Structure 1
Amino acid sequence: MATVKRLLTQFVQFGAVGALNTALTYGIYLLLYQHISPTLAMAVGYGLTSLLGLALNKQWVFKDRGGQLSWVTFKYYATYGTTFLLSLLLTSLWVDGFRLPAALAPMFSLAVTVPVNFFLSKYWVFTQKGAPLHASKHTASRPTNHS
């Protein structure tokens, strides 16, 4: 039961990081879009907040105290790139295939991409040798039975 509770806690924390990043990206966009192109303003906002998201997910959500930062960073951005492409595919499917209203399509896409992103982050990005880095020291230091 503790594992399910921990999983739910991490999912809520992951969502909070995403919500904070979204709000900050929009704030940065609002500050910049009249001075530089809107596309560049969004890129700056996304770039800055993605670094914040990496740091918060690494330290607060998944308690990753190890791992090579360059490899974790690569996997983090590969995961976000993958879920971004999945979001584009799903949005097209919802609108063109299922004829859902275009205004609602992103919500349906998020219902799929957020959990996918969470599980990829938990079990691939912030892991070491296949085990989540937040595992207790007791679990990591237990002797194994080799018989």
Structure 2
Amino acid sequence: MVWNIVDKIVRVIVGGFFRLLKKDYTASVHEGLMQFVKFGIVGVSNTVISYVLYSVTLIALKAGGLLPKFDYLVATVIAFVLSVLWSFYWNNKFVFTMEEGQTRNIWKALVKTYISYSFTGLFLNSILMVLWVQVLGVSEFIAPIINLLVSVPVNFFINKFWAFKAR
């Protein structure tokens, strides 16, 4: 039911925008856009899950006095590994679904998903942070938000056309 409401809202807003531009808002354009919206929803849930996992792990490590100099790094790794697994599950089930007759090697897709998230989450975001902060003088608090405008679409396309590509 909620998904039907989101679908209708996107149809009205984006369809209206396409009409203003005198362009056709085709079913395939809508389907691709809705897939991106679903990817975004999974991404938001992934961000929340990652932060919760990080916080809980960090609190547990601090309470146990384990790895006091590296507890935040261990918490980061645990949060990354588990939150990407969360994203993989929901992207596979909800976003990049397969048509009848298509197949996907689940383990290969999982490895590709970790590579994709590592590339966009670590490598690309780090390079962009240097660009925004050191080269363009953007605030360190605003730069990660700008990164989302680049890294989310890049991650979507990597996942769509590589990690979750059906055979």
For Structure 1 versus Structure 2, the TM-score category normalised by the shorter chain is 0.7 to 0.9
For the aligned residues, what is the CA RMSD? 1.5
The structure that is helix-richer by fraction is 2
Give the TM-score taking structure 2 as reference length. 0.72
Within the alignment, does 1:42 sit opposite 2:80 as a pair?
Answer: no
The within-5 A match list for 1:45-124 is: 45-64=79-98, 66-84=103-121, 85-124=123-162
Superposed displacement of residue 42, structure 1: 2.5
Structure 2: gaps of 5 or more residues: 1-25, 62-70
Kindly provide the amino acid, as one letter, of the partner of residue 119 in structure 2. T
Superposed displacement of residue 32, structure 1: 2.3
Instruction: Indicate if the aligned counterparts of 2:84 and 2:113 stay in contact, CA closer than 8 A.
Output: no
Give the TM-score taking structure 1 as reference length. 0.81
Instruction: Indicate if the aligned counterparts of 2:129 and 2:147 stay in contact, CA closer than 8 A.
Output: yes
Superposed displacement of residue 63, structure 1: 0.5
Stretch deviating more after TM superposition (93-102 or 75-84): 75-84
Partners of 1:31 and 1:115 in 2: CA distance: 29
Match of 2:50 in 1: 25
Say which SS state the counterpart of residue 38 (structure 1) adopts. Answer: helix
Within the alignment, does 1:4 sit opposite 2:24 as a pair?
Answer: no
